[in-house]
Amino acid sequence: GNSVTQMEGPVTLSEEAFLTINCTYTATGYPSLFWYVQYPGEGLQLLLKATKADDKGSNKGFEATYRKETTSFHLEKGSVQVSDSAVYFCALSPLGDYKLSFGAGTTVTVRA
Amino acid sequence: DAMVIQNPRYQVTQFGKPVTLSCSQTLNHNVMYWYQQKSSQAPKLLFHYYDKDFNNEADTPDNFQSRRPNTSFCFLDIRSPGLGDAAMYLCATSRDSYNEQFFGPGTRLTVL
């Protein structure tokens, strides 16, 4: 079956620190990969996506590269801000399928 | 801006009293989804509509029902809410079944 394993949190960082959240997946075929962000009390927002191997998704200073050889899609940001405090979900969608498989989520807190 | 709207943002109901949550979209997407998200967990898909075709997840309790009267609106009905149904309910849409999903802000349901 399809599954996503995400780095466990919570993660606490100082402002301007480097952030990495590890994400690995198990899937048949060539899934699409996503990072969603959820701010307190809000719904999920699509942060970035990649649909094929070696694609790099990027948005708001965040990046993630679809690595088929290591079945990974790690999220990185070079310099975090307090406003990046949120829960981050890695997710996959199998090719031609509607169903999103989510990781457990990683809570990130950035302190000034 | 095209968006997914959920009303109300906060809903309080009594144990066993039916409640309806609403979702509307201006994206003109074919697919609409309902998720349940409990505290500190990933969202769990309850069901989805592809146009008028209803698709129930195998483990969704019978207590949960849905209606989609037209392209723009979708409703979640909880016939007899229990204390365990207190959660955030998220609506999402996608253009087609293999495109990324866009989430609304959620409705937080409290059951007294």
The predicted structure's pLDDT at residue A37? 97
pLDDT tens-digit profile of B37-84? 998 899 999 999 999 999 999 999 999 999 999 999 999 999 999 999
pLDDT tens-digit profile of A39-91? 988 899 999 999 999 999 999 999 999 999 999 999 999 999 999 999 999 99
d(CA A63, nearest CA chain B) in Å? 17
Interface touch A102/B98, C-beta < 8 Å: no
Is residue B41 left, alpha or beta, with left meaning phi > 0 and alpha meaning psi from -120 to 50? beta
Interface touch A98/B43, C-beta < 8 Å: no
How far is it, in rounded angstroms, from Cα A92 to Cα B94?
14
How far is it, in rounded angstroms, from Cα A87 to Cα B62?
30
Element (H, E) at B23: strand B19-25
Q: Are strands B107-111 and B87-94 parallel, antiparallel or unpaired?
A: antiparallel
Interface touch A43/B104, C-beta < 8 Å: yes
Interface touch B6/A43, C-beta < 8 Å: yes
Those of residues 45-84 in A touching chain B at CB distance below 8 A are 45-46, 49
How far is it, in rounded angstroms, from Cα A9 to Cα A23?
12
